[in-house]
Structures are given as C-alpha cells and as structure tokens.
C-alpha cells in the first residue's frame, strides 16, 4: 500500500490521528524493529474509522497492529506499515453498591489500570499487576495470572473488523475466550481492538483471596503478620503490591530496559488426564493444575518441563533463559530476532523430544 497523502504537520497539535515514518517499534524484548510508516490513533471515536484513509490502511493486511509490544517477537527487523492506538482514557459507564462497569481505551497500560482500579478499592484486576502491555492487547490472548483471567471481567470489546470494514461491539461470549485464547487470537490480523468494557466488584469476591499458587500463601501470611489482620482482610491495592513483589522476584522489570522479555514465553500445555498420568508415572514430581472448562484435561507447567531439559539459566551471548524462571526467555542485548527465535525453537524441540509435548508460544511471532 502506498503511504498516506496527508502529512502529520498539517493536522496540528491535538489531532485525532497522525502518520509517523521510520518509527522504532517498541517491544519489551528490546529487539531491533522499525516500521516504515505508522498510523497513530490518539482517539477511538467510531467516526474516526469512517475516514477512508484510515479504513484503507486497516484493510491492508500488510498493516501490523502494534500495542505495547509485550506480546510481539520481531524476528524481522523491518515492517512496512503498522497501526498503534495511543488513546488511553477510561471512564465509569455504570455503578451501584456492588459493582462498577468501566470503559477503557485500548492504549491504556494494563498494569497502570490495575493500580488505578485497585487503588479505588475495586476488586477484579489486582492479580494482573505487573503484567506489561496494553488493555487492547489483553483480550487477544486472554491474559491471566494467579487464578484470574481478563475474560472474567470483560463485558464487551469494541473492535474494528478489518474484513467487514467497520467497528463492532462483541460480547464476552462472542469473544470466545479460552485459556490464553480468544477469537482475536484465532483470527489473526482481522481485528483492531479500540475499547474494552470491564465489570469490577466493590466487595471481595467469593473465596477471597486466591492462594493456591506458589508464593501467594507465604506472602499473604507475611502480610497478615505485619498488619495483624486475617488474610481475608487484604484489599485489592495491597494484594496488587503483593503480586508485584512475587513477580519481580521471578521476572525482569520490563520498565527498566535490558534484559528484555515478554514474561512467560510458552503457554502451559493442556493435556489429557491419561497423558498426564503417563508422564507422572515417570516424573512423579511433575506439577499438575486444573484446567477450568476443559473436562478430562489438566494443565502442566511449561516452566517445569523446560527446566527438566536443562535450560534454566542457559545463556548464548545475547539471548538466554532466566536463572529465576525457566519459562522466561531473555534478550540481554546485542542479539536480533533471528537469534532469539532460534533459541525458542531449540527449547521447544528439546521438550518435545523428552516429553512428547509441543509447547506453543504465547507471543505473536512476526517473521
């Protein structure tokens, strides 16, 4: 597709959108990547997508949708054209004594939203603290941590359908959420998410707080001892801080530059109970977790599988595996996307050979 006729300079300050040329594409792996031309949206009004040059840009499948770059691995260093939603506002849509519905623009940082909502005493997002990326990217892979998935709180998602050339509102059911999965991920390249509506609680949910994950029980016990209160008294803001401390012990701080990562690189595999039992007969210590909504199947720990293959702490010049968590692949600097992707493929191959399980990457691979 040819570049846009309009230049940034004739739109003035506060324009709803602008074109930027030869723009570095930020990504939390800090791999080299540039876009020859990027359309940056500062607003998400539906009328914006009725403009021909924007609709045409989105209709072209060469246009890569880029959010916060926390879910992209740039194997290629140059992409021709991209679109980025910069709009990051949010507001209350409905509120009562039990819950509050909010609408969030896609450019809002997920962790930033967690802090702001938890700080107001609203329950629902606190376990997602310290996850990088934007709110617009979160529904794509149904981000989750410590027993919470974004899907649990989504009311609807507003997205531009690049096939049908228009903005549509999809209910949570229509988003077809699954474990690290969604309609948006199964139909890559079709959707540009522009707004997300979430329902959060003003009262603690049932079985608050969730403690069945490694490190959470211990951290809650420490909080209880310090505060002199039972674990059930912890608020969403303090719980978000607790999760932050746990994650920072395992993962590099994505705000601080190198080393870079995308957090957990591979999805935890979901297998049949029979398969899990067969593996457990040989490796009795193998962790297994319930797979909600998937009867007859269980979730295994991808990190444990990788560690058993000897990868934890491995380093090959500029790329490697975190010494703190085998599921975190690192870019230490000086490498490119080919180097990083080569390491990921080697790890996946070794797990397949030893356990007969094919690990699937969580991020999108841009080749």
> Which residues belong to the active site?
180, 264, 362
- Residue 16 burial (CB < 10 Å; 0-12/13-18/19+)? middle
Tell me if 74 sits within 8 A of 364, measured CB to CB: no
Distances (CA, A) of 153 to 107, 120, 200, 237, 312: 18, 17, 7, 17, 34
Distances (CA, A) of 160 to 79, 190, 191: 21, 8, 6
Give the burial string for 267-297 (b: 16+ CB within 10 Å, else e): bbbbbeeebbeebeeeeeebebeebeeeeeb
Rg value, the chain, Cα:
21
**CA atoms in the 13 A half-sphere facing the CB of 105:** 16
């Amino acid at each position: 597709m040819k570049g846009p006729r309009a230049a940034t300079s004739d739109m003035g300050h506060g324009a709803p959108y602008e074109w930027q040329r030869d723009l570095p594409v930020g990504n939390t792996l800090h791999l080299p990547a540039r876009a020859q031309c990027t359309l940056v949206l500062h607003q998400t009004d539906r009328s914006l997508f009725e403009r021909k040059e924007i609709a045409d840009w989105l209709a072209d499948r060469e246009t890569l949708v880029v959010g916060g770059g926390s879910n992209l691995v740039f194997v290629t260093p140059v992409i021709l054209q991209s679109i980025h939603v910069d709009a990051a506002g949010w507001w209350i849509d409905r509120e009562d004594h039990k819950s509050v519905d909010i609408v969030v623009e896609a450019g809002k940082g997920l962790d930033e939203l967690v802090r702001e909502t938890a700080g107001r005493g609203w329950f629902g997002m606190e376990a997602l603290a310290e996850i990088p990326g934007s709110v617009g990217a979160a529904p794509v892979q149904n981000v989750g941590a410590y027993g919470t998935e974004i899907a649990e709180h989504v009311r609807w998602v507003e997205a531009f359908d690049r096939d049908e050339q228009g903005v549509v509102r999809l209910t949570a059911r229509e988003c077809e959420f699954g474990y690290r999965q969604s309609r948006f991920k199964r139909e890559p390249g079709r959707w540009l998410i522009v707004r997300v509506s979430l329902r959060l609680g003003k009262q603690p949910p049932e079985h608050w707080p969730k403690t069945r994950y490694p490190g959470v029980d211990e951290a809650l016990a420490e909080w209880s001892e310090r505060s002199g209160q039972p674990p059930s008294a912890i608020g969403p803001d303090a719980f978000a801080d607790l999760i932050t401390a746990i994650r920072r012990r395992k993962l590099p701080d994505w705000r601080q530059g190198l080393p870079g990562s995308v957090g957990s690189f591979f999805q935890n595999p979901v297998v049949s109970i029979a398969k899990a039992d067969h593996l457990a007969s040989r490796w009795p210590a193998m962790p297994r977790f319930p797979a909600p909504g998937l009867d007859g199947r269980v979730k295994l720990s991808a990190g444990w599988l990788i560690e058993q293959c000897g990868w934890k702490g491995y380093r090959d010049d500029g790329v490697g595996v975190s010494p703190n968590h085998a599921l975190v692949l690192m870019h230490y600097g000086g490498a490119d996307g080919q180097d990083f992707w080569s390491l990921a493929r080697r790890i996946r191959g070794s797990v397949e050979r030893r356990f007969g399980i094919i690990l699937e990457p969580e991020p999108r691979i841009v080749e």
